Copies of this chain bind each other. A is one copy, B any other.
Amino acid sequence: MANIRLVLEFDGSNYAGWQRQPNGLAVQQVVEEGLGRLLGASVTLISSGRTDAGVHARGMVANFHTERILPLAAYREGLNGLLPPDIAVQEATLVADDFHARFDARGKWYRYCLCLNPVRSPLNARYSWQLRANLDVAAMTAAAADLVGVHDFQAFRTSGCAARTTTREIFSIDLLAAEKLLYIDVRGSGFLRNMVRVMSGTLVEIGLGKRPVNDVKRLLLQDQGQAGRTAPPQGLCLMEVWY
C-alpha cells in the first residue's frame, strides 16, 4: 500500500469547485476518474481543502492510498495524459503512510489578483477581478496589517461555512503591484469559507474609500455579515500548501 501525494494546478473557470457535488463537475471528480482509469481501481482523494467554483489553483495538494504501485513518474505523466487541458499534476511523491493532506497542512498561500484599468482588460479577464477605479494602496496595506495575527475571523466568512471554530492565524498579507495588476498575497494557518475573498472585498472597499482604514479592527469584533463583499472567484488562486 502506497500513499501518494499530488500537487495539482488547475484553471477553475469551468468547474464547480474542488469538492465532488451533485450539481456540476468538480475538479476532485475529474482527477479521481483519471486515477481510476490509470490504476484500474477506484481512488478517493484527500485534499488540503476545498476551493470554490471558479477559483484556480497553482498548488492544490491531495493524497491517496493505493495498492497499485507504479513508478512515481507514471502517476504524474500517466495521469496528465488522462486529464483535460485545464488540470495537470505538477508533482507526484511517495509519502509516509500517515500523511494526510488536510490534517497535516501547516499553512497555505492564497493570491487574490485585482486588475486596475480604466476599461475592461480582455487579457486579464480570466484570472483577476477587474476594477475600473483607482485604489488607495497605502490604506489597504495599513488595513491588511490589522488582519495579520491570531484573530476571530467570523466576520470574514460567508454562510455555509461549516467550521466550528472561527479563530485562525494569518501569517502575512502582502500587496504587490505589477503594472496594472495588484496582488493580495495572504499566508495563514487555515481559512474559513470564502475568507480570502471577503478579506479582499473588504480591502478593496477600504481602497475605494467606502470604509475607513481602521474598519478591520472593528470588524474583527463583529459577527458574520458585517465585512465587505465577497470578491469574485476568478481573482483567487491557491498558490501553495506547506507541511
CB distance from A45 to the nearest CB of B (A): 17
Complex CA gap A89/B126 in Å reads 18
Which listed segment binds B: A79-87, A134-142, A185-193?
A79-87
A155 at the A/B interface (Cβ < 8 Å)? Answer: no
Majority-rule SS of A interface residues: mixed
| Chain B residues in 8 Å Cβ range of A85 | 120, 122, 125
Residues of A within 8 A of B (CB): 9-11, 56, 58, 76-77, 80, 85-90, 117, 119-123, 125-127, 237
4 nearest A-B residue pairs (beta carbon): A11-B122, A86-B122, A88-B120, A88-B122
Between A and B, 26 residue pairs with Cβ closer than 8 Å are A9-B122, A9-B123, A10-B122, A10-B123, A11-B122, A11-B125, A56-B123, A58-B123, A76-B119, A77-B119, A80-B119, A80-B120, A85-B120, A85-B122, A85-B125, A86-B122, A86-B125, A88-B119, A88-B120, A88-B121, A88-B122, A89-B119, A90-B117, A123-B127, A123-B237, A126-B126
